[in-house]
Amino acid sequence: MLKGYISPYNATVVQKLLDGGAVLLGKTNLDEFAMGSGSTDGVFGPVRNPWSYSRQYKEKIVPRSDSEPENSNWVITGGSSGGSAAAVSAFTCFAALGSDTGGSTRNPAAHCGVVGLKPTYGLISRHGLIPLVNSMDVPGILTRCVDDAAVVLGSLAGHDPKDSTTVQDIFQPFALPSLTDVSKLSIGIPKEYHAPGLSSEILAVWSKAADLFKNAGAKVVEVSLPHTHYSIVCYHVLCTAEVASNMARFDGLEYGHRSDMNKSTESMYAATRREGFSDVVRGRILSGNYFLLKQNYEDYFVKAQKVRRLIANDFVKVFGSGVDILLTPTTLSDAVPYVEFIKEDNRTRSTQDDILTQAANMAGLPAVNVPTALSGRGLPIGLQFIGRSFQEKQLLTVAKWFEKQEMKYLLCIQILQISGYTHHQKDEFQTSSGERC
Amino acid sequence: MAARGCGGVWCRVLQRGPGGSCSASRPRRAVACNARGGAVPLGQSGLAPWAAVVGLEIHAQITSNSKLFSGSQVQFAAPPNSLVSFFDASLPGTLPVLNRRCVEATVMTGLALNCTINKKSLFDRKHYFYADLPAGYQITQQRVPIAVNGSLSYSLCKDNKMSQMVTKTVRIKQIQLEQDSGKSLHDDARSQTLIDLNRAGVGLMEVVMEPDMCCGEEAAAAVRELQLILQTLGSSQAIMAEGQLRVDANISVHHPGEPYGVRTEVKNINSIRFLAKAVDYEIQRQIKELENGGTVLNETRAFDSKLGCTVPMRDKEGKQDYRFMPEPNLPPLILYDAKSLPANVNHQQVVNIDWIHERLPDLPSVKRAKLVELYGILPEHSFTLVNEDGLMDFFEDVVKQTQMKPKKVIGWILSDLLSHLKQHSLTAKESPISSFLLADLLNLLENGDISSSAAKQQWAEMLDGLRAERAIYTQRQMKCSTWSGGERIAVVETDPTRSASRVDGVFEELWKGEGKTPLEIVKEKQLELIQDQEELEQICQAVIDEREKEVMAIKGGNEKVINKLIGLVRKATRGRANPLLVKQILEKKLSE
C-alpha cells in the first residue's frame, strides 16, 4: 500500500535523534503495518534472526533431513519490529527504534537477545508513527544494554505539541545509578504469567531470576493479575476496531497505491484496498468494522474497553500493594524456525506470542525485555520487567542491576560467538557499547 | 402542540382550486403555502388539520486563523489545495492538535445559547468513505459534546405585520465541535471528480435544535437570530453565501395528538430565504403525499432553488452505519471554571468558562431592549435596527451627532435610508451617505435652516446620485449656471434629465470627498428656508392674486381652503418656506 512512499516530514522521534547528533543508517523491515509477531508478514519478506547463524545454534541444531538445505533452519526474529531487533543484535547499529502495541518491541528483543524498552504511554511522541492501535502504540527502543536504552530514552522522551497524548510534565533525562542494594525492592511475580505453553526452559530462567533477587535481599512475592486471561481477546477487539478506522485513509487518493480501476470513485477505493492490503490487514479491517457496527458496538467494543479497564486496575492494585516491579517472561519459548512459524496463521501466532507482553500496553505501563540466558538450542531468552507509570528510571535501574549479574556475563560471551563476525567487528561493538557489556 | 408553531396548524385547501384559502383565522403563511399546493382531491383525513414538526441542524464555520486540528490557515476562496497541511491530507502518522480558539468560540456560543457547558467532553470518529474526507472519518463529538440543553428565543411577525411580533423559543439539544470536509467538484463531461482540501478540517460548530418549529418562517427566524448571535460573538462570520452557515432541516407532519410522522431531511440549505421555502415546500409535499394515501420515506433531500422544490439525494441512499468510536489521539477536553481552575496552571493551556462568560458581548436581544430603553423607539424598530447588517451602529452614530430626537431619527433611518439601501442592495456600512453627513443634514432640519421637504429632497438627491453616478460625466456639460425660481420648480418636477443634472452638483461634490457639508450644498443650491419676510410676502401675494376662486371661498367662510394656498406657496418655494409663517402671512393678507 505504501510501497515507494516517502514521508515528507520526520517523525518527532527521528527528528529528536537527528537533533541529538545521531546518524541515521536506514530503515528496518517489519510486519506490514506492524501487524504480526514474527516479522514474517512484511512486503520485503521475512526477517531472519542473526542468531540463526551463530556458532552455537549451528552446532546444536540437528538437520531434519539430508535433503534440506542447510539454511532452512533459520529462526524468526519475532515481531513486529523484527528488523530493528536484528539490526541491533547483528551490531549494525548502536540502537534502533521500533513500535510496541502488544509487544512488538519486547518480543523481537527477547528473540534477538537485545534490550527492548516499551516506555509509558504518553512519554514519547507518536507523531510520525504510523498507528496500529493509537491508544496503545508507543515508540520502542532497542539497544544492546540497559544503559544505552536510558540514553536513547533521554533524547526521545518529553512533551510534543504535535501529539496531544504526550504528558505535559518536563522529562529529565537520567543516567542510571549502579544499584548495589536491592533489599528495599519488592519484586512481584504474577502467577497468571505462568501461561499454558510456557516452555520449561523459560520457566526455569524465570525462577532463577526470582531467586537471584531473593538471594540479593529483595522481597519477592507472588501476585495476581486476575484479568490477564482476557487480555488477548480484549486486545483483539480494540486492535481490529482501531485498525479498521486507521486504515480508512488508505483510499488511493492522496498517496500510496492507487488501482487503475476508474469506473467510479467507489470501485477505485475497493480495488485499491483489495490490491494494496495483505490478507492479514484486510482481515483485521473486516473484523474491526464488524465490532464497530451499531448493533455490535456495545457487545464488543464497549465490553472490551471495560475489560481493558479491569486489566489496568489489576496493575494499579498490585503496585498499590507495595510491589515496585513485576518480573515475567517475555515470550513463551525461544525463537522458532521460520518453517515452523508459518504453519500457523498470523492471528493465531499473534494471539500466542503477545500473551505475556500485551497487558502492559493495555495498562500503558513501561516494560523492558532484558536478555537473560541462552536456550538449549543456543538462542536468547529474555525476561520482562514491568514498572509503574512514568517510573522508567526505577524500572531501568532494576533492569540494569539484573543485567549486571552473572547471566549477563554468559550472554555477552555468547554474543561474541556469533559466527561470521570478525575481530574488527568485535572492536566496533566494544567501542559502541564501551565497557558495559 | 398549541404552544408552538405558527399560532395554528396546517390544513389542506379543500377543493377550492388555486388561490383558495382556509378560514380567516389561519395563519397567512399556511394559507399561502396551501394555495400553492393547488387543487387536490379531498383526502381520507377529511378536515383533520395537519401539524408540521421542524428541527434543525446548523453547521457554523468557526472564525479562526487556523483549522480545528492543524495549523493550516482558514481562508475563503483561496487557490485550491493551497491551505492543506500533512494532517489535513491525512498523511500516515499525523495527529490532531486541538485549536484552543475553536474551543473558546464554541463555549462562547454555548453560553450565549443558554447551554450547560460540559466540563469534560469527548471526541469521536465518524466513518464514511467520501473523496473529500481524506482520513475516511470525521472527528466530531457524538457522545459528549461541549454544550448541551440550551435555548434560543427568536421573534417573528404575525401575519407579516411588523407591529405584531411574537417571541418563540426553540430548545438547543447540543453544540458539538467537528471538522469540516473538503469540497468535491464533479466534472461529468470528463467523468472525474476534483477535490479541494482547503476546507477540510476547518472547525465547525454543529448546533442541534429540537423539533420545536413548525413552518419555514419560524425556522428562518430562528436561524436569522442564531446568525446574529454568532456574528455578535464573532464565533462565526455566519455568511451563508460563503457556506459558513449551512442548515439541514428535519421535517415531518402528523395530526396533533398522534405520534410524529416519518421525517425527511433537507440538507445543505445555504440561504435563509431558501430555508423558509424548502421547509414549507416539504411540509406541503408530505401532506399531499399522505392525503393521497402515500407514505413519506425517511430520506435525505436537497432543495432545488431554481425549481423551488425538494428532490431526493441519490448519493446518500440507504442507511449508513457510521461506526462511531472514540478518537484515541485526543484526550478528553477538560474545561475549567473559576472554582475548578487548578492553581499554578499555564493559562495558555486551559479554557476558563467563567472568564469567557464575563466577556460575552451584548446579545441581539439585549441590544434591542437597550435601544428601546435608551432611545424610546418601538420594539419592532429595534428589530429592524439589529437585524439589518450594520444599521444599528449607523443609527447610533447619527444619534450621537445630531440634536434631533432619536424617535425622529429612526424614521429617517428606516423609511429613507433603509429603503434606498435595499433598492441598491447595499448594507448600512456601504451607505454612500455617512452617518456624519446624515447627522449634519438632520441638524439643518432641526435648526430650522431647511424644511423637511427640502431635506428629503436633498436626501433623495444625495442617494439618487448613486444611480446618477455614471450619468454625471455625460451630463456635466448640461449643468445650468443659474435658474430662476420658477424655472427651477418646473425643472425639478417635470424634467428628470435636468433634475439629474442638478443633482449632479450635490453628488459630485459629496463623492469627490472634498468635504463639502450639507450646509454648503444647501447654500450652493439655495435650499435654505426663506428667512426674508418680504420675499415670502411677495410670493404669498402672487399666489393670492392667481387664485381668485380659492380666495373667494375662504372669504366665504370655507377656511380649510387656506391649506391649498399654503401648499401652493410651498410648491412655489420648493419647500423652502416655513409653513407656519406662510399661514400667518396668508391669513393676514386675506383678512385685509
Residue A40 burial class via C-beta count within 10 angstroms: exposed 0-12, middle 13-18, buried 19 and up? buried
Among chain B residues, CA nearest to A289:
B323
A15 in contact with chain B, both atoms CB, cutoff 8 A: no
Instruction: Supply the Cα-derived Rg of chain B in whole angstroms.
Output: 31
DSSP, collapsed to helix, strand or coil, labels residue A121 as: coil
Chain B segment 183-222 residues within 8 A of A by beta carbon are 193, 195
First to last CA, chain A: 41
B91·A266 Cβ contact <8 A: no
What is the interface pTM, i.e. ipTM, of the complex? 0.89
Contacts of A8 in chain B (CB under 8 A): 86, 91
The DSSP element (H or E) to which B249 belongs, if any, is strand B245-254
Q: State the Cα–Cα distance between residues B166 and B399, nearest whole angstrom.
A: 28
* Residue A432 contacts residue A401 (beta carbons within 8 Å): no
CATH of domain B529-591: 1.10.10.410
The pLDDT assigned to A272 comes to 94
* Residue B117 contacts residue B141 (beta carbons within 8 Å): no
What is the grid cell recorded at B115?
447551554
Residue B347 burial class via C-beta count within 10 angstroms: exposed 0-12, middle 13-18, buried 19 and up? exposed
B122 in contact with chain A, both atoms CB, cutoff 8 A: no
Residue B552 burial class via C-beta count within 10 angstroms: exposed 0-12, middle 13-18, buried 19 and up? exposed
Closest residue by Cα to residue B570 from B545, B536, B547, B519 = B536
Give yes or no: A259 in active site: no
The pLDDT assigned to A406 comes to 62
Of the CA atoms within 13 Å of residue A89, those in its CB half-sphere come to: 37
Contacts of A2 in chain B (CB under 8 A): 92
Give yes or no: A80 in active site: yes
Domain boundaries, chain B: 51-326, 364-473, 529-591
Which of A249, A250, A291, A362 to probe the B interface (max B CBs under 10 A)? A249
- Grid cell 532494576 is found at A398
> What is the full per-residue pLDDT of chain A (437 aa) written as tens digits?
888 899 999 999 999 999 999 999 999 999 989 988 899 988 899 999 999 988 888 877 765 555 555 567 899 999 899 999 999 999 999 999 999 999 999 999 999 999 999 999 999 999 999 999 999 999 999 999 999 999 999 999 999 999 999 998 889 999 999 888 899 999 999 999 998 899 999 999 999 999 999 999 999 999 999 999 899 899 999 999 999 999 999 998 889 899 998 888 889 999 999 999 988 899 999 999 999 999 999 999 999 999 999 999 999 999 999 999 999 999 999 999 998 888 888 778 777 788 899 999 999 999 999 999 989 888 999 999 999 999 999 999 999 999 988 655 455 545 555 544 433 333 333 323 333 33
A255 in contact with chain B, both atoms CB, cutoff 8 A: yes
Closest residue by Cα to residue B183 from B318, B61, B46, B93 = B61
A130 in contact with chain B, both atoms CB, cutoff 8 A: yes
Which of B127, B321, B325 to probe the A interface (max A CBs under 10 A)? B325
What is the grid cell recorded at B261?
410522522
Residue A275 identity (one-letter amino acid): E
Residues 6+ apart with CB under 8 A from A313: A227
Q: Which residues of chain B have pLDDT under 70?
A: 1-48, 160-162, 314-318, 450-516, 522, 524-528, 575
Among the options A104, A231, A287, A375, which is catalytic? Answer: A104
Residue B106 burial class via C-beta count within 10 angstroms: exposed 0-12, middle 13-18, buried 19 and up? buried
- Grid cell 528483543 is found at A109
- Grid cell 412655489 is found at B572
DSSP, collapsed to helix, strand or coil, labels residue B177 as: strand
B93·A294 Cβ contact <8 A: no
B401 in contact with chain A, both atoms CB, cutoff 8 A: no
> All domains of chain A, ordered by start, with CATH?
12-64+73-419 (3.90.1300.10)
Residues 6+ apart with CB under 8 A from B128: B136, B137, B138, B320, B322
Q: What is the pTM for the complete model shown?
A: 0.82
Beta-carbon neighbour count of residue B504 at 10 Å?
Answer: 23
The pLDDT assigned to A352 comes to 79
Contacts of A253 in chain B (CB under 8 A): 131, 134, 195
First to last CA, chain B: 73
What is the grid cell recorded at B369?
431592549
